[in-house]
């Protein structure tokens, strides 16, 4: 098989286990490509890809590239000295960025791309689930699993392709969607963007990629999104639909009523009120659902049917995902790592909680911490108690003087009850000592803090058994 200008009949993915890369590998494998790849460790995602016939090596080495490799697919996280990337250059094998591969996969489909500083994975998932529920069998590529490993992507028989569009490295400039959603516009990804002007310019370029006659669905509430809308309004052959609680919103959110871990939402669309359930708590998730509704309507999906189908969405892994309960304490996993996300998730959980809200937070990236430590600390003040772990570096090298202590100091200035824990292994015991029946405990961050959930539950259960 061959997709667009890139030869993807036998692709090799460096870092195939990553959220974005694994989805593309899955779609290509289902389409009949001879997929290979490598990752730093074994994982459930790697096992799921092997079950589809992919050849996956653990560890990075030049010999991992099979004979006959047609292209090597990389993300921005792959460093120039990676031995497989070096081998590709030596063998004159074309190197394809992940975004170019995704753009090729979307070719010939009605593409719907979801962008924004945060909320992309949830909104993309809502669309994928609801369109699937309506029997439209969309293809999709999401930055997180819906439920089981490998559920972050699907090759559908329908004409719609829903994709999460990443602004972090400007790779969303590669897509040409019929419908684009922009949920919010904030300064993030400080290694790639030096100012809000650069952020606005990048999002303007993305809007310019919408196909003629296509639709931009954009927040009517978010300050950065409203500024972007003012910059792009009036462009020829572009339909703009604003969504939110603001009185001037085209699709207006009239009410969001908490119902425990769900919300009842009422919107006004084309003069008619629609009521539906969102099966995750929090006003921000309700607004994500409203944006998904507006985008589906732009593609011609009947509004009432889509609103009902959105109710079938029950969440995505790591987005306020209930991991379990032990000793009367519920443990919930949150992917939030930007201050706005952190505050939104803590406010949502606060609405659902009967007892205290505790959080163990793992900062993500030195550059983000350097720029946003004050705001992260302020967000943690919304919890009744918090534990802050060391920074998860991901792709970055340390920055002198940048540690989690910057966040802890800011949290204390904001009145938070917070303490540091530098030993990842010691965190479950500490959190178990802090928690009491009726509490909600969040594991929060984009790194491996998610792995603490089962360990905390085990420790809680052990303490309860001895009581």
Residue 242 is a catalytic residue: no
> Where are the extended beta strands (E) located within 190-261?
214-219, 238-244, 251-259
Phi, psi dihedrals of residue 326, rounded to the nearest 5°: -150, 140
Closest CA to 122 of 265, 253, 314: 314
List the structure tokens of 110.
């009605």
- Dihedral of CA 211/161/288/362: which sign? negative
Which member of 69, 117, 121, 432 is catalytic? 121
Which member of 26, 34, 120, 323 is catalytic? 120
Which member of 84, 122, 164, 229 is catalytic? 164
**Residue 330 contacts by C-beta under 8 Å, 6 or more apart in sequence?**
322, 324, 439, 440, 441
Strands 139-141 and 153-154: antiparallel
Residue 273 is a catalytic residue: no
Residue 164 is a catalytic residue: yes
List the structure tokens of 164.
């999460």
Match 């250059």 to its residue by tokens: 89
List the structure tokens of 54.
């992919």
The set of catalytic residues is: 120-121, 164
């Amino acid at each position: 098989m061959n997709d667009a200008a890139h030869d993807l009949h036998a692709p090799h993915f460096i870092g195939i286990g990553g959220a974005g890369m694994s989805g593309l590998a899955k779609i290509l494998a289902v389409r009949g490509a001879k997929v290979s790849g490598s990752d730093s460790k074994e994982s459930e995602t790697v096992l799921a890809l092997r079950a589809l016939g992919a050849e996956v090596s653990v560890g990075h080495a030049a010999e991992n590239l099979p004979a006959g490799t047609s292209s090597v697919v990389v993300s921005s996280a792959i460093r120039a000295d990676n031995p497989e990337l070096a081998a590709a250059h030596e063998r004159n094998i074309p190197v394809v960025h992940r975004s170019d591969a995704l753009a090729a996969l979307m070719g010939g489909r009605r593409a719907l791309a979801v962008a924004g500083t945060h909320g992309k994975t949830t909104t993309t998932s809502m669309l994928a689930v609801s369109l699937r529920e309506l029997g439209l069998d969309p293809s999709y590529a999401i930055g997180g699993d819906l439920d089981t490993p490998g559920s972050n992507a699907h090759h559908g028989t329908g004409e719609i392709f829903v994709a999460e569009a990443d602004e972090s490295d400007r790779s969303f400039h590669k897509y040409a969607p019929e419908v684009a959603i922009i949920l919010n516009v904030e300064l993030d990804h400080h290694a790639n963007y030096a100012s809000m002007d650069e952020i606005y310019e990048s999002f303007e370029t993305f809007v310019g990629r919408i196909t003629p006659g296509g639709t931009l669905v954009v927040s009517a509430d978010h300050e950065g999104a409203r500024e972007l809308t003012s910059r792009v309004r009036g462009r020829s052959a572009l339909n703009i639909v604003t969504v939110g609680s603001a009185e001037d919103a085209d699709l207006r959110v009239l009410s969001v009523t908490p119902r425990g871990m769900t919300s009842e939402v009422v919107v006004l669309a084309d003069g008619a009120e629609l009521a539906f359930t969102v099966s995750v708590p929090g006003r921000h998730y309700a607004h994500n659902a409203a944006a998904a509704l507006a985008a589906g309507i732009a593609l011609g999906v009947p509004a009432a049917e889509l609103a009902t189908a959105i109710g079938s969405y029950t969440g995505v892994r790591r987005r306020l995902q209930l991991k379990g309960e032990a000793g009367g304490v519920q443990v919930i996993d949150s992917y939030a790592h930007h201050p706005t996300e952190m505050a939104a998730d803590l406010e949502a959980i606060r609405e659902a909680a009967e007892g205290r809200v505790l959080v163990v937070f793992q900062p993500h990236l030195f550059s983000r911490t350097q720029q946003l430590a004050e705001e992260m600390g302020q967000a943690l003040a919304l919890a009744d108690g918090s534990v802050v772990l060391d920074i998860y570096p991901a792709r970055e090298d340390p920055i002198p003087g940048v540690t989690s202590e910057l966040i802890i100091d800011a949290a204390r200035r904001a009145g938070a009850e917070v303490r540091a824990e530098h030993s990842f292994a010691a965190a479950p015991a500490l959190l178990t000592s802090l928690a009491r029946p009726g509490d909600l405990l969040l594991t929060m961050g984009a790194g491996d803090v998610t792995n603490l959930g089962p360990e905390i539950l085990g420790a809680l259960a052990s303490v309860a058994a001895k009581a």
